[in-house]
Chains A and B, each alone.
Chain A
Amino acid sequence: SQQGEEDPQALSIQEGENATMNCSYKTSINNLQWYRQNSGRGLVHLILIRSNEREKHSGRLRVTLDTSKKSSSLLITASRAADTASYFCATGGIFQGGSEKLVFGKGTKLTVNP
């Protein structure tokens, strides 16, 4: 099963509202990353938070990490129609097989209505 799973699978909000997406994972990690994918495009890195960090900000993005609950959240404040995309969490660490890698969840599809 997936190491990281996003919740909800889909989210529809109005422009100006805040959007919150959650990610849960199963095993120990050394960092967690959030990526964005516009339809038909490659993924774009948004933010990386290390396992010894609890919160990180970048512009309108705020990411939290709770390693005790094995969960993270991505908050986009004052959303814009241009934020419409799929958002993926990815966990970095040593997983099954013993090699260090980045494992992606299936994503949250965010729609921001103008």
Chain B
Amino acid sequence: DAGVIQSPRHEVTEMGQEVTLRCKPISGHNSLFWYRQTMMRGLELLIYFNNNVPIDDSGMPEDRFSAKMPNASFSTLKIQPSEPRDSAVYFCASSSGLAGRQNQFFGPGTRLTVL
């Protein structure tokens, strides 16, 4: 079992550039979550999908952030344009049930640094 796969593991970019983070959930899981973790704000839920449909995107900071899930085995989180305050660790997680009812399996995270 490969677990949740995220890429890249580290990303360093300059302000204004587009950043795309990728996630492959555990096969058979029907819910996928994107989180952001910083020292100041802790772990924040950005968006989650159930059966490839966005259910709650209230945590997406602003229009610069967008997420897609074109199929059950792939999701992307895009930041365009990126800003220094977007620097954080971004986690993808998946679960076999509705959000909040089942345990979630986390990927290793993408550490994003925006200069």
Contacts and interface: CB of A to CB of B under 8 A. Distances in A.
Interface of A: 2, 30-31, 33, 35, 41-45, 48, 88, 92-94, 97, 99-107
Contacts of A88: 43
B15 interface: no
A100 B98 CA distance: 8
24 contacts: A2-B42, A31-B100, A31-B101, A33-B103, A41-B108, A42-B91, A42-B106, A42-B109, A43-B93, A43-B104, A43-B106, A44-B106, A45-B105, A48-B102, A92-B99, A99-B55, A99-B56, A99-B99, A100-B100, A101-B45, A102-B33, A102-B100, A104-B43, A106-B42
A48 B97 CA distance: 14
B67 to A, nearest CB: 15
Given A48-B102, A101-B45, A102-B104, 11 more contacts: A35-B106, A42-B91, A43-B43, A43-B104, A92-B101, A97-B58, A99-B99, A102-B99, A102-B100, A104-B43, A106-B43
Interface residues of B, number: 24
Contacts of B107: 42
Contacts of B43: 43, 88, 104, 106
A105 B43 CA distance: 7
Interface in B71-115: 91, 93, 98-109
B99 A43 contact: no
B58 A45 contact: no
Contacts of A101: 45, 48, 56, 99-100
B97 to A, nearest CB: 10
A45 B26 CA distance: 15
Contacts of A35: 106
A86 to B, nearest CB: 10
Given A97-B56, A101-B56, A105-B42, A42 B99 contact: no
